[in-house]
Structure 1
Amino acid sequence: MPYLMPNVASTGEPASLDDPAIDGVAFAPKVDTLQMRKAILAKLTYAVGKDPAAAKLHDWLRATSLAVRDHVVDRWIASVREAYRTGRKRVYYLSLEFMIGRQLRDVSCNLQLDAVVREALAEIGVDYEAMAELEPDAALGNGGLGRLAACYMESMATLAIAAHGYGIRYDHGLFRQKIADGWQVELPEDWLAFGNPWEFERREVAYEIGFGGTVEASEGWDGAVRHTWKPGDRVLAIAYDTPIVGWRGARVNTLRLWRARAADPIHLEAFNRGDHVGAVADRTRAESISRVLYPSDSTQAGQELRLRQEFFFTSASLQDLVRRHVQQFGDIRSLPDKATIQLNDTHPAIAVAELMRILLDVHALGWDEAWAITRTTINYTNHTLLPEALEMWPVSLMERLLPRHMQIIYAINAKLIADARKRPDCTDGMLSAISLIDEWHGRGVRMGNLAFVGSHKINGVSALHSELMKKTVFKDLGALYPERITNKTNGITPRRWLMQSNPGLARLVRDTIGEGPLDDLEKLSQLAPYAEDAAFRERFMQVKRANKERLAALILEQIGVRVDPAALFDVHVKRIHEYKRQLLNVLETIALYDAIRARPNEDWVPRVKLFAGKAASSYTTAKYIIKLINDVAKVVNSDPATRGLLKVAFLPNYNVSLAQVIIPAADLSEQISTAGMEASGTGNMKFALNGALTIGTLDGANIELRDHIGGENIFIFGLTAEEVEVVRRKGYNPSETIADNPALAAVMESLYAGVYSPDDPSRHRGTVDALRNHDYFLVTADFQAYAETQRKIAALWRNSSDWARKAVINTARSGWFSSDRAIRDYAEEIWGVPTR
């Protein structure tokens, strides 16, 4: 079902005379408190349908959101018109995840309306903070990947890049995490329960997405063989648009999320026969595609649903952008000149085969021409070196679900192998490694290889990660196409992770060096000399103390643990995974607890060990790590012998909003992944920007963080990526390491004996056995270096002036990690689009 947009290509007029567009950039008009108050009251009455006297906080939230949204729409329309008028090249960003979080503060901040909104609500008698806390997180992501996508969309709007984001409008985002008796419990994330005032449903924008069926070949008028895919199953993709506002309203781009709907919502004949459940079975099956983020793929049904999700949103997005291009420019052959497609990780890799199908079967291009267009238009960001995350779908599943695409993949693979055979250094091993079809594990389609082969550029997300890509997962493909791999180190948006998350620090920065960093974060470097100013350091740490008091209140409210804001807040928040090594942290926590009990008269630094993060629903080991953290917390926090010197807390349901409270309050940032396994990380950047010191391995972007803030202002420990490789290759005996370390041996023994699980003494024996006999992630190998580094941190904490000095330097030298810088790099070196 095509969607015909109103013809705006011929006009460049702004959306209204009160909202001028200058050189395609929309600027926010001035709005006073009276106007905003009237607007909110009008929305409450006419859109929400409530009398102010009877309105609840959630009514005021919706009314306020709609009033602020009105200030977005004119700029949005002006941005679209400007893109059509100029014929600018567009960026299309395909991501299975978008962790956009709460929108009210974000949009108000970027439109410079935050103060006006607060004042208007205060005059009405509405508590802004209490109201804003009711807004649900749009948690359409699992972690860094989805948050990065949100940051990049905001930066593209800030830099006036014409961009569209594409993803899935999940009915339920990543599960809501509850902790029951120390165990993770997954509950539905019902973020749409009260509607979403920020989105616009586009029922007229609907595309058929096919699955299964047959492929028929016929001879075209020119004698060429044409293929027609006749799907056996079809669903509709319905568009929902959310405007993404750039800083100071510079531009408003579109995040288009797809919702799955059945082509026929009910089989009336079956219903009338009395088969009331069967009559809606197809609808239930279709709608399950956009029901839940990351359904478990531990079963065949779950695996098929995951593949359906990926193809569903990729196909709808490609149909949409091709329709837009042909509508405006007429000729599909100019697609690479006017569009660039960025695949955010491997999930949308099927785009290579789907774009080929559209060009071959719908637009009747020849193979060579279609392949040249595909290869020039698509780019691929790799986010992981973990083989399981590169995705490999069984050939049997692909052939059944996407038969035409498998034909295309086979043809691409044949050409790939043929080209490789021409090389003098070609070996059977190289052919096996580069093939799109894995023959060693039950025959599967290597989606990472497909994305690589079908892309113009392939980028890693930190300098180390990009180099490791060349040496590991894409070693042979990189040798075959050496010009394709490049690096684009991740970044974070300062609007959310400084201005909104830490307004006290933002205000201090502005009062000290002016507003320059608000528009260019790298100007934070002007703050560096103030690290030597004792009065400034004191104000800086006062801001940190206020943030810690806020977090302490939240910890008490949520889990009933009382912590001292004067203590060192040692924070480890991220997805729970063995390679991220929360286990290393908790083992050292036990060792510290043992030491405090053994030497109670020593001058111990009071410390709060704070953890948060979700374990994938089918990841049993990660769930046991959460349970272990909570078991340790239960023992430590109830022991009077520690005298408050050590507290352990696990905050449930980690999401963007919770991160915005935790990160500004952190003194120490834990970035302790096994070297060579974290692609980049963005939490490390957020913590440093907010004045936390980092303890970390030389992994991911920690290396660049060290280079920018200085080795003396970060705590690096442990094996390097090269050393990890050597240790694994030679063979590692963790039992010997444990035996040589009395503190670690005592920790292992206490866990094995059930000291921290008296209700079930055997609970953590599996964890201990794994560490003693295998320890792939080298927790025991890095334990001693980690523990020694923690003691150095404690020594520095005692010198409050030196700690504050390093904290200021971390903030001052973090500007390079802005997502604006990262997007400029993409724009200039991959996409070929101008920036503001």
Structure 2
Amino acid sequence: MASQCVRDEEHERRKQISVRGIAQVENVANIKKTFNRHLHYTLVKDRNVSTTRDYYFALAHSVKDHLTSRWIRTQQYWYENDPKRIYYLSLEFYMGRSLCNTMGNLGIQSACDEAMYQLGLDIEELQEMEEDAGLGNGGLGRLAACFLDSMATLGLAAYGYGIRYEYGIFAQRIRNGEQIEEPDDWLRYGCPWEKARPEYMVPVNFYGRVEDNPKGGRRWVDTQKVLALPYDNPIPGYKNNVVNNLRLWSAKSPVEFNLRFFNDGDYIQAVLDRNLAENISRVLYPNDNFFEGKELRLKQEYFMVAATLNDIIRRFKNSNFGSREATRTNMDLLPTKVAIQLNDTHPSLAIPELMRILIDVEGLTWDKAWELTVKSCAYTNHTILPEALERWTCVMLQNILPRHLEIIYHINHLFLQEVHKKFPGDMDRMRRMSMVEEEGEKRINMAFLSIVGSHAVNGVAAIHSEILKTDLFKDFYEMFPERFQNKTNGITPRRWLLLCNPSLSDVIAEKIGETWTVHLDQLVQLKKWDKDPAFHRNIQTVKQENKMRVAAFLETEYGVKINPGSIFDIQVKRIHEYKRQLLNALHIITMYNRIKRNPTGKFVPRTVMIGGKAAPGYHQAKLIIKLICAIANVVNNDPVVGDKLKVIYLENYRVTLAEKIIPAADLSQQISTAGTEASGTGNMKFMLNGALTIGTMDGANVEMAEEMGMKNIFIFGMLWDDVEKLKRDGYDANKYYNANPELKLCVDQIANGFFSPQNPKEFSHIADILLKWDRFFTLADFDAYIKSQDKVNETYLNQELWTRMAIHNIASSGKFSSDRTIAEYAREIWGVEPSWEKLPAPHEPSGTDANTNNGK
């Protein structure tokens, strides 16, 4: 009965939103009619036998119906107007769920909610049936998803290209405090949003050899073919009737069997061999910021690139520009109609592949092909960690992609000639800048290839872009200073505020209207009410309601009763040493020891939540998870501690869980070693939802502090220059360990089995890392971190001050919209202007012939 009351209250709230004017394209009766039609004719079910999942699929298909005509019309519009098209190539797209986001972007959330309510169904229960499309590891893939949303919202003719992994990022289970990986079979029930396009299936070649062709060029022969089958996914802009396309490739075996096996009578082996080809799109590699030179990974990268470039050239030749017959093969126009953005080095083989197409297939000269390639391609770097930079062995490239290795060698040869001309006699510089690394096993540095083969190179936060210029790619910046840019990352406010935190969205809309959803800089107006008691109460009420919901969720999921009045202190991101979850763990132990030392003393209650996945082969990261779980077990079961301190490890952190947790956060932990986090986007999501940040001057934290002012953020620790000096001078962790009794006690407890009494040496390796081999200087920042955390406690006791700081965080978030980021990419890299144009709705005349070849 209680849950029904909550459901009725939520339903009534949404009805009030619709009264406020959210446009509804279709009425409730039509949605109900469409829903029943899909239940009967698409799913072949009736209400007697339908499950909750069936109802979800019926609703998803009903919502997709509203997308379809807009999707077709958008592609027709791009064909008729022939703008420059943007191609965003990424091996990861961390999309999450689509249903709620699509309803919101179409403006039909309230109508769908009302229709389901009248049918006796709970729309939130249906939404929970959708599987996350977990086709990414973390930040890089989620950024790509936010960018697609913004490109559609800004009216850009944009296409995402990636791989349709049958198994996405693994599902994480915590068993006895340890991470266990389970397959993420996200397609087990099918995906209602995608549409297979077998008519655009293309062959992708591997192996073989290269020979001279009769016309004097080179050709790649005797290859093994794999077919790339595209699946299209609609990407709706926000209430502008634009629906762009995300095309994901699935590997299929060619139709012909291996005749040798077939003729030998081994039919079964012939079929099994066919399935080997399809492994290319079987599973997402669960490693972010770590390069593994696996043959399957190289095949995945080339598979996506080759299929995509085939598609790009096909669409270019079919474009409706000028006199089509005169220009359809005029490749000189390619950079005026095509912009290819490489999301990190994973798609960097696009550069030699485009060269191969232009030279071997289109018959262009090397110089002309190179000019077009450089003008068409741009490269985004996402990391400075050396272990993350891709370096493929020449032996592997020679075996799998022999023609591409030839092309790369020649690119490098001509480039080094340029270096020699600009810096004559500087042989050491030539060695450093060669994309062919000769030390040890010969390798190709894919970042160097990406820089040389692109007209623009960007980092993803101001400090990161500066490090690229002054450190990681210093030689290349001196060679091509005009190519280097900064494009600070952003997040889509539609998903990360409007969708996930509707109550806060309402409070904001009451003050400044609703156009902030596409002009996030308007949030700055909220600063006018930073001392308004009524506005403070509204902000506090929203936060407390969100915290109550999360507290109930945690009690149900983990059986831990937490104090909703405590500070919700959250660190959620991939588990990696540079992100320093260990520093957080040391603070938890410090708080625990302080409570035990003085149980009746004053203590500001905390609930610390840590979540994230460790790469399956990253044993140190998995041990960190086990340590955190062991600490939680001690803390949560100590009666002396009570509800003053609780520790929760959030199992299987993903987009959907982030949408629940982030709106309830009081404190966001962004504590990476200065100079190691390229940008971060989780920091922006917390900021937008009114959490305060404790963090180092790293990544986008630097710009966040600039936007909100240092008094509204808890900054601590070494700057990048300090870290570099510490590296040069030599880091002695024992100096910090011996100087701070609280720190010494924490490390000793880890080393001596306090948190693992059944196995006292279980975490001794973590203590050894902290004291002997820590590349990320955790102990050097401990003292400053603890003092900053004490400042957090002091501030939280003054709720008026805390709320004022939260308002300034929200109001200063405008810069961190992905709309701003994409507008900068469009103007400064791709050479196009965002239109913000609203296309005609399906029931409005478009002036476009519905039978037009829309060049999909």
- TM-score normalized with structure 2 length: 0.92
How far did residue 516 of structure 1 move?
A: 2.5
Equivalents in 2 of 1:783, 1:231: separation in Å? 60
How far did residue 478 of structure 1 move?
A: 1.1
For the residue of structure 1 that corresponds to 2:107, the secondary structure is coil
**CA RMSD for the aligned pairs?**
1.7
User: Paired residue for 1:21?
Assistant: none
User: Paired residue for 2:521?
Assistant: 522
Contact 1:296 1:303 in 2 (8 A): no
Contact 2:137 2:288 in 1 (8 A): no
Deviates most, 296-305 or 346-355 = 296-305
Query: Cα 1:232–1:268, aligned 2, differ >3 Å: closer, same or farther?
Result: closer
Equivalents in 1 of 2:442, 2:708: separation in Å? 47
Equivalents in 2 of 1:459, 1:680: separation in Å? 12
Equivalents in 1 of 2:290, 2:462: separation in Å? 36
Query: Cα 1:277–1:563, aligned 2, differ >3 Å: closer, same or farther?
Result: farther
Equivalents in 2 of 1:106, 1:301: separation in Å? 34
Report whether the alignment pairs 1:239 with 2:230. Answer: yes
Among 33, 38, 43, the residue aligned to 1:38: 33
How far did residue 439 of structure 1 move?
A: 1.3
User: Paired residue for 1:726?
Assistant: 725
Report whether the alignment pairs 1:716 with 2:715. Answer: yes
Pairwise mapping of residues 120-269 of structure 1 onto structure 2 (< 5 A)? 120-220=115-215, 225-264=216-255, 266-267=257-258
How far did residue 602 of structure 1 move?
A: 1.6
Query: Cα 1:164–1:199, aligned 2, differ >3 Å: closer, same or farther?
Result: same
For the residue of structure 2 that corresponds to 1:603, the secondary structure is coil
Q: Which amino acid aligns with 1:151?
A: C
Contact 2:289 2:387 in 1 (8 A): no
Q: Deviations over 1:366-411 (max 9, x none)?
A: 0000000000000000000012222001111011110000000000
Contact 2:24 2:107 in 1 (8 A): no
For the residue of structure 1 that corresponds to 2:775, the secondary structure is coil
Q: Which amino acid aligns with 2:68?
A: V
How far did residue 518 of structure 1 move?
A: 2.1
User: Paired residue for 1:287?
Assistant: 278
Contact 1:265 1:282 in 2 (8 A): no
Query: Cα 1:604–1:159, aligned 2, differ >3 Å: closer, same or farther?
Result: same
Q: Deviations over 1:283-316 (max 9, x none)?
A: 2221111000016799999700000000000111
User: Paired residue for 1:796?
Assistant: 795
Equivalents in 1 of 2:454, 2:181: separation in Å? 37
Query: Cα 1:701–1:298, aligned 2, differ >3 Å: closer, same or farther?
Result: closer
How far did residue 275 of structure 1 move?
A: 3.6
Equivalents in 2 of 1:91, 1:301: separation in Å? 29
Equivalents in 2 of 1:269, 1:301: separation in Å? 34
Query: Cα 1:183–1:378, aligned 2, differ >3 Å: closer, same or farther?
Result: same
Query: Cα 1:383–1:540, aligned 2, differ >3 Å: closer, same or farther?
Result: same
For the residue of structure 1 that corresponds to 2:757, the secondary structure is coil
Equivalents in 2 of 1:507, 1:77: separation in Å? 33
Equivalents in 2 of 1:298, 1:637: separation in Å? 33
User: Paired residue for 1:354?
Assistant: 353
Contact 1:295 1:305 in 2 (8 A): no
Equivalents in 2 of 1:551, 1:295: separation in Å? 28
Contact 1:295 1:302 in 2 (8 A): no
Deviates most, 752-761 or 487-496 = 752-761
Deviates most, 294-303 or 566-575 = 294-303
Report whether the alignment pairs 1:620 with 2:611. Answer: no
For the residue of structure 2 that corresponds to 1:333, the secondary structure is helix
Equivalents in 2 of 1:429, 1:671: separation in Å? 38
Report whether the alignment pairs 1:548 with 2:547. Answer: yes
User: Paired residue for 1:697?
Assistant: 696
Q: Deviations over 1:614-654 (max 9, x none)?
A: 00111111001100110100000000111211100001111
How far did residue 270 of structure 1 move?
A: 3.4
Equivalents in 2 of 1:300, 1:88: separation in Å? 37
How far did residue 274 of structure 1 move?
A: 5.8
Equivalents in 1 of 2:311, 2:360: separation in Å? 16
Contact 1:155 1:819 in 2 (8 A): yes
Among 84, 88, 96, the residue aligned to 2:91: 96
Gaps of 5+ in 2: 1-21, 322-327, 836-856
Equivalents in 1 of 2:665, 2:290: separation in Å? 40
Equivalents in 2 of 1:830, 1:234: separation in Å? 35
Report whether the alignment pairs 1:428 with 2:427. Answer: yes
Gaps of 5+ in 1: 1-26
For the residue of structure 1 that corresponds to 2:130, the secondary structure is coil
Equivalents in 1 of 2:681, 2:552: separation in Å? 26
User: Paired residue for 1:61?
Assistant: 56
Report whether the alignment pairs 1:116 with 2:111. Answer: yes
Contact 1:298 1:618 in 2 (8 A): no
Equivalents in 1 of 2:175, 2:344: separation in Å? 34
Q: Which amino acid aligns with 2:71?
A: W
Q: Deviations over 1:135-183 (max 9, x none)?
A: 0000000001000000000100000000000000000000000001111
How far did residue 205 of structure 1 move?
A: 0.9
User: Paired residue for 1:819?
Assistant: 818
User: Paired residue for 1:735?
Assistant: 734
Report whether the alignment pairs 1:84 with 2:79. Answer: yes
User: Paired residue for 1:20?
Assistant: none
Aligned length: 806
For the residue of structure 2 that corresponds to 1:644, the secondary structure is helix
Report whether the alignment pairs 1:393 with 2:392. Answer: yes
User: Paired residue for 2:331?
Assistant: 332
Equivalents in 2 of 1:581, 1:280: separation in Å? 48
Equivalents in 2 of 1:154, 1:774: separation in Å? 42
Contact 2:636 2:642 in 1 (8 A): no
Contact 2:23 2:108 in 1 (8 A): no
Query: Cα 1:57–1:271, aligned 2, differ >3 Å: closer, same or farther?
Result: farther
Q: Which amino acid aligns with 1:254?
A: N
For the residue of structure 1 that corresponds to 2:334, the secondary structure is helix
Deviates most, 66-75 or 425-434 = 425-434
Pairwise mapping of residues 577-588 of structure 1 onto structure 2 (< 5 A)? 577-588=576-587
Contact 1:159 1:250 in 2 (8 A): no
Equivalents in 1 of 2:375, 2:108: separation in Å? 41
Equivalents in 1 of 2:161, 2:450: separation in Å? 17
Q: Deviations over 1:40-74 (max 9, x none)?
A: 11111111111123211101111111111011111
How far did residue 30 of structure 1 move?
A: 2.2
User: Paired residue for 1:641?
Assistant: 640
- TM-score normalized with structure 1 length: 0.95
For the residue of structure 2 that corresponds to 1:834, the secondary structure is coil
Contact 1:142 1:174 in 2 (8 A): yes
User: Paired residue for 1:833?
Assistant: 832
Equivalents in 2 of 1:702, 1:295: separation in Å? 26
Report whether the alignment pairs 1:678 with 2:677. Answer: yes
Equivalents in 2 of 1:214, 1:830: separation in Å? 36
Equivalents in 2 of 1:301, 1:800: separation in Å? 48
Q: Which amino acid aligns with 1:253?
A: N
Contact 2:286 2:615 in 1 (8 A): no
Report whether the alignment pairs 1:48 with 2:39. Answer: no
Equivalents in 2 of 1:602, 1:227: separation in Å? 79
Contact 2:233 2:247 in 1 (8 A): yes
Equivalents in 2 of 1:782, 1:597: separation in Å? 24
Deviates most, 228-237 or 658-667 = 228-237
Equivalents in 2 of 1:358, 1:51: separation in Å? 53
Report whether the alignment pairs 1:604 with 2:595. Answer: no
Equivalents in 2 of 1:832, 1:299: separation in Å? 33
Q: Which amino acid aligns with 1:44?
A: L
Contact 1:216 1:227 in 2 (8 A): yes
How far did residue 774 of structure 1 move?
A: 2.4
Equivalents in 1 of 2:398, 2:479: separation in Å? 28
Equivalents in 2 of 1:716, 1:307: separation in Å? 40
